[in-house]
Structure 1
């Protein structure tokens, strides 16, 4: 029996939620979960349809993207996940999808503007979109450099990965992360819904401006601030 059964189960459950939430089509996406103590993560195998996935199919890799356990080839995005786990020491899970609206914004090379309180319930700024990758990076270690494309974008914009848990990779698609794999899935669903709402908002009123600051602050802090009062607490 695998020594990583619990980790594989966490990654498996995260992956299986993606088609259930309408975030992936066919094999267009992947989720991973990390074990910080052992410095490994479990990730979906490459090109395997979700309907065929089993817990034991999850591939265990280290932070250099080397296979530690598994008979299948890991996701083609494994090196990107490895970079993020290595660079960001507090995240517990990562999700990558090609969800329709999030990917459309990424292909348009556009940040997702903060127009309303649904967005502000989760974030107080636009969801960033990275610049397109340099040709030398594309022709080099592409998936590895995708990880640094994400890391560098947040650094350049002075955004904290513990607060901004989603990003659009320019010309590509969304990545999200969180304290657990389940939270990364949640963030992926939120990112897609916000992307859809923003798109529809601009169809109704192309001249709409950003959400007013007072509403941003109110909606974020009532869920996340020190005096938050949303939900049932601990």
Structure 2
């Protein structure tokens, strides 16, 4: 008998299988979830299960209070982080977390990624944000949940956590759906989207942006951010009300 969550589990499974396909993680170093807002549940990768042995039936379904709704395995250890983001970020239907090497290297350096070129501007009109380092008491209290709270506060209440731009200036409030990626200081990247597949797409984009930025800064240590008028043109032609990129 088919589960009422079968479609959601299949969405999560297919998105998770994109992680090794896109070279975003090795072994079990990543997870994707798919959210059904109407049902108030999300499907997520089981903890510690390798991609090459994972099956659709292994995907675990939980509600936003972390109660297991369906599945025989333990959900990802990052499940509380996903839950916090679904609670606080409007419009997202999928979340991806990986340890892709370039994005993770920026996170380990505790540095946001400046907007240096049009590839970045096509996907976001802002630099990629890095959260502040999580506090010791937060780790001891509820590490994964507090990681989600830290990400949410970095976007929605940056003054509360003292979030900074890449240049050290105070970060202003950001709209998560328009800036679908973040670096968690010392940890790694999280990305999101309107569905699970889009969240993995954004994870792949982030990894490429991180790599390009590193190469750019190596080639030219006197780099400068892309001018705002070029940023605006590239972002608006794909995402603005008069967007003309692609087919209509």
Place the TM-score, normalised by the shorter chain, in its bin.
over 0.9
TM-score by length of 2: 0.93
Cα RMSD, aligned residues only: 0.7
- Alpha-carbon distance between aligned partners in 2 of 1:81 and 1:65, rounded to the nearest angstrom: 10
Q: Aligned match of 1:158 in 170, 173, 178?
A: 173
1:204 equivalent among 202, 208, 219: 219
Runs of 4+ in structure 1 deviating by more than 2 angstroms, as ranges, are: none
Deviation of 1:14 (Å): 0.3
Q: How many residue pairs align between the two structures? A: 233
- Compute the displacement of 1:225 (Å): 1.0
SS in 1 for 2:66: coil
* TM-score, L = length of structure 1: 0.98
Alignment partners' CA distance in 2, 1:125 and 1:119: 8
Asked whether 1:82 is paired with 2:83, we answer yes
Corresponding residue SS for 2:33: strand
Q: Which residue of 2 aligns with 1:147?
A: 148
2:201 pairs with 1:186: yes
Q: Structure 1 regions of 5+ residues with no counterpart?
A: none
Shift of 1:66: 1.5
Residues 90 and 177 of structure 2 are in contact (CA less than 8 Å); yes or no, is this contact kept in structure 1? no
Aligned match of 2:210: 195
- The CA deviation at 1:133 is 0.3
Is 2:183 the counterpart of 1:168?
yes
CA displacement, residues 176-207 of structure 1 (integer Å, 9 cap, x when unaligned): 00101111011000000000000000110011
Q: In structure 2, what is the equivalent of residue 28 of structure 1? A: 29
**CA shift for structure 1 position 87:** 1.4
